[in-house]
Amino acid sequence: MTCKKRLKKSDGSGTFSLTRHPRASGGSVNAIALETSGTHLSFAVWRQGRLAAKTFIDAKWDHEKIFWRRFPETLRRAGLKIKNCDFFAVTRGPGRFTGTRLGLAIINTWAHLYKKPVFAPTVQELMAWQCAQASDFRLQTSDFRFLCIVAFSGAFTAARVKPDSRISPIKVYADLKNLFAKQPKSKKEPPALLYYVQYNLESEIKNLAEKYGYSTVKQEIPKADALALVAASRPKTHPAWIRPPKLPLPLYLKQNWG
């Protein structure tokens, strides 16, 4: 069954129109979304309200090389020109220094050149939204719904996402044990844990989550096609919407690089 996301176009109403299904009929919105914060590279092209192309790959350390090798041809096949986009979307971190910087540099350049708005949420916000939309995931709690952890390059961040989609300030911790020990205990139901970490940290994450009693433990990798959908559903007043000349600023895992 085709699942559509019907929203008004950006004509003053404050929202755009995209469809969930690549063959579903929809509005005429064009958009490019890019996610490069961690080990995965993901980009998506929406043309006339339809998902025209997407790429999702474990790029390890080669985000820039893979992106410029694949994206131009992908865009050509989608039949879209960058200047014809209605908006761009990119995560601003937290994430690895090189990856986060690359995604924001590309999107900020396009936004500046073509004077288009940018939707730039945190990685944790996108992770929580993706998980909440999953048909196999339901969690009811009046405390907080998700604890989202992102950990690369030896730094660890956590943010809590409440049922109304509000996200707490992202805090950086020296180690994972310290991160878990300092989280407030849920008064009613244990929250779900979402994580996006280096592969060598997965077992430690799961062990600590079991020790501290989290109800669900799930890896949630941020994806560009989901990023475009969440952008379309957020009104222009949402703080993640940014217009030139003010452009999105990066949020790195390590704030001080010596």
pLDDT at 12: 45
Residues 208 and 178: beta-carbon distance below 8 Å: no
Using one digit for the tens of pLDDT, what is the confidence trace for 166-178?
A: 788 899 998 999 9
Residue 258 has pLDDT above 50, yes or no: no
Report the distance separating Cα 123 and Cα 161, nearest Å: 12
Residue closest to 110 by CA, chosen among 252, 251, 248: 248
Residue 257 has pLDDT above 80, yes or no: no
Residues 31 and 52: beta-carbon distance below 8 Å: no
pLDDT at 138: 56
Distance of CA 177 to the CA centre of its chain: 25
Going by pLDDT thresholds of 50, 70 and 90, the confidence category of residue 6 is very low
Using one digit for the tens of pLDDT, what is the confidence trace for 95-113?
A: 988 899 999 999 999 999 9
Q: Tell me what percent of the residues of the chain surpass a pLDDT of 90.
A: 62
Report the distance separating Cα 79 and Cα 192, nearest Å: 41
Residue 215 has pLDDT above 70, yes or no: yes
**243: phi > 0 → left, psi -120 to 50 → alpha, else beta; which?**
beta
Domain boundaries, the chain: 123-219
- For residue 239 the two structure tokens come to 């703080």
pLDDT at 252: 82
pLDDT at 88: 98
pLDDT at 162: 77
Using one digit for the tens of pLDDT, what is the confidence trace for 179-192?
A: 999 998 877 778 88
Residue 151 has pLDDT above 80, yes or no: yes
pLDDT at 79: 94
pLDDT at 255: 52
Residue 11 has pLDDT above 70, yes or no: no
Report the distance separating Cα 198 and Cα 177, nearest Å: 16
Residue 256 has pLDDT above 80, yes or no: no
Q: In the CATH hierarchy, which fold is given to the domain comprising 123-219? A: Nucleotidyltransferase; domain 5 (3.30.420)
Average confidence score pLDDT of the chain: 85
Report the distance separating Cα 92 and Cα 35, nearest Å: 9
Residue 128 has pLDDT above 50, yes or no: yes
Residues 193 and 149: beta-carbon distance below 8 Å: yes
